[in-house]
Amino acid sequence: MKRRRDDMEIVWQTPANPPERHDYIFRDGVRYVRPYYFEFICHVKNRWARKTIVDMFADEFKGRPHEYYVSAVKSGRIQVDGEMVPISYVVQPSQKISHFLHRHEPPVMAWEVSILHKEPEVLTVCKPASVPVHPCGQYRKNTIVGILQAEHDLAPLFPIHRLDRLVSGLLILARSASKADLFRQQIEAGMVHKQYVAKVNGVFPEDEQVVNVNVNYNAQEGRSTVEVESVGIGGTKLKGKAACTKFTRIRTNGTHSLVLCEPVTGRTHQIRVHLQYTGHPIANDMLYLSEEVVDRSNKGLGADRAAAKSAHSLPPIHDEECYTASTENSEEDFSIDPMCTNCPNLPPKGYDGREEGLWLHCVRYTGPDWTYECPYPDWAMLG
C-alpha cells in the first residue's frame, strides 16, 4: 500500500510481508533493523476521552515533544477513524486512532541463532541472549521468529515456551499449530521437565535446595518479589502466585557456583528471584543482586523495561498492526524521515545495543516421549 505524506512516498506493508535478509544491518557485533514505516492502531480509552487529539498524545505518550504531535496531526500521520482531523479535535470513547510513524527497533547482539534439530514438525534452536522470542513491545523483526524467517525461510513457527529476552539456550518451536497445541497440553498437564543452568554468587549449598515461595511480578517495576506467607495480615490473601523451583549445585570454584535449576512452575522471573531468595543471585543479574529496584534506564539491562514503557508511539495492538521495511538495499544506509524523532540515528533513543546476557541458560526440556537439549554456554565452565 502506498500513500503520499509530507511530499514523500511511503510504502506500507502488512504482516503478510515477512522479514527479509536486507531488513537487517550489522555493525560492530550488533544487529539493527532498518527503520520502517509502521501503523499503530488503538481505540480511545474512557480516560483519554474529551481531550484534544494533541493533548491526548502529549499527556499519555510523553516520549515525544508536543510539537511533534501537532505536526503529526496536521500532516495526517495521526488520524481518527481513518480521517485527518484538526489539532483542536476532541476525541470520544472507542474511536480508532492511527499513528503512522518511522519505526526504529531496538538493536540486539548479532550472535547466531543456531539450529539444533530440524524435524518435520519441530525445530529447536539455541537462542542467544538479548533477542526476544517473538514480536513484543518495540520488537518485531529483531526476534527469533523474525530472524529464522528472514535468514532460513522457516515459517510458520509456533514457540511452545518462552525465554526472557536476556536468557539464552534451548528454544522449541512447533512447525504447525496442531503440534504446538500438543506440546502446550503436555506442559499444562505438568508432563514436561525443564532444566536450566545458572552461574550464581558464592558457594551454593551442596544438598538439593527446594524453594517453594510465592512470586509476585510488578509490571511497572519490571521485577518480581517473593512472598513467603500464603496469607497476609487479617487473613487477606497475598498477590503472589505459588511457585516452586529445585536447585542442585553442579560445581563451584569458591567464588561462583554453577547451579542446575528445575522450575516446577513457570512464573515471571521465577528462577532469578528464587535464587535471590536463597542468597545466591545470578552473578551478573543487576535486577536481583540487591533488594533495591535498580535504575536500568540508561543501561543495556534496561531495554525490556524501556520497550514496555516507551512513549514513542501508541501501544501495540498485535492483531491490528501492519508493518514493513521501506528502505534502500544498501548494507549501510537507510531512508531518513524528516519528521522522525529518532533519525538520523539507526537505533531508537536510549539503546546502545551493548548487552551482556544473563548467566542463565536453558539446557533441556523432557516430555513423555521426547527430549531436546542445548549445549552449555562458555561461562558455565566457571573460568
- pLDDT digit string, tens, across residues 145-176: 999 999 999 999 999 999 999 999 999 999 99
In a domain, 311, yes or no: yes
Residue 28 included in any domain: yes
Out of 59, 164, 337, 369, pick the active-site residue: 164
Which residues on neighbouring strands pair with residue 118, listed in sequence order? 123
Per the domain annotation, does 53 fall within a domain? yes
15 in the same domain as 67: yes
Strand pairing class (96-103; 122-127): unpaired
Record the pTM: 0.81
287 and 315 assigned to the same domain: no
Has residue 342 been placed in a domain? Answer: no
> Which tens digit of pLDDT belongs to each residue from 61-118?
888 899 999 999 999 999 999 999 999 999 999 999 999 888 899 999 999 999 999 9
Q: Are 119 and 69 contained in the same domain?
A: no
DSSP SS3 for 11: strand
CA 164 to chain centre: 7
Report pLDDT for 210: 97
Is 66 a member of any domain? yes
Q: Residue 136: its pLDDT value, please? A: 82
Residues 43 and 81 reside in one and the same domain = yes
Q: Given a cut of 70, is residue 319 above it in pLDDT?
A: no
Residue 320 pLDDT grade (very low, low, confident, very high; cuts 50, 70, 90): very low
Q: What is the CATH number of the domain that holds 286?
A: 3.30.2350.10
Average pLDDT over residues 257-281: 96
> Residue 136 gets which letter from DSSP?
B
Q: Could you report the per-residue pLDDT of 11-37, keeping only the tens digit for each?
A: 555 555 689 999 999 999 999 999 988
Give the separation between CA 161 and CA 373, rounded to whole angstroms.
Answer: 14
For residues 357-367, one letter each, b for 16 or more C-beta atoms within 10 angstroms of the residue's C-beta and e for the rest, the string is: bbbbbbbbbee
Residue 187 has pLDDT above 60, yes or no: yes
- Residue 7 falls inside a structural domain: yes
Are the CB atoms for 98 and 82 separated by under 8 Å? yes
CA angle 141/165/182 to nearest 5° reads 85
CA distances from 152 to 20, 102, 119, 168 (A): 10, 27, 14, 20
Looking at the structure, tell me whether residues 98 and 198 fall in a common domain. Answer: no
Q: What is the CA radius of gyration of the chain?
A: 23
Identify any residues that bridge with 214 across adjacent strands, giving them in sequence order: 227
83 & 171 share domain: no
311 pLDDT above the threshold of 80: no
Mean pLDDT of the chain: 84
Are residues 113 and 98 in contact, defined by beta-carbon separation less than 8 angstroms?
Answer: no
Q: At what angle do helices 53-60 and 66-75 cross, to 10 degrees?
A: 140
> What does DSSP say about strands 360-366 and 371-373: parallel, antiparallel, or unpaired?
antiparallel
Do 37 and 147 lie in one domain? The reply is: no
What are φ and ψ of residue 275, in 5° steps? -65, -40
Where do runs of H (alpha helix) occur along 205-312? Answer: 270-278, 303-309
Domain annotation covers residue 335: no
Q: Are residues 82 and 121 in the same domain?
A: no
CATH of residue 59's domain is 3.10.290.10
- Is residue 52 located within the same domain as residue 86? yes
The three cell numbers of residue 230 are 500464603
Q: Which structural domain range is residue 286 located in?
A: 112-298+356-381
Nearest to 304 by CA among 272, 265, 335, 261: 272
Domains in the chain: how many in total? 2
Structure confidence at residue 316 (pLDDT): 33
| Structure confidence at residue 285 (pLDDT) | 96
Q: Are residues 102 and 120 in the same domain?
A: no
Both 181 and 55 in one domain: the answer is no
- For residue 146, what is the enclosing H or E element? helix 144-152
**Shared domain check, 150 and 29:** no
Known catalytic residue at 207: no
Domain annotation covers residue 346 = no
Are 97 and 108 within 8 A, CB to CB? no
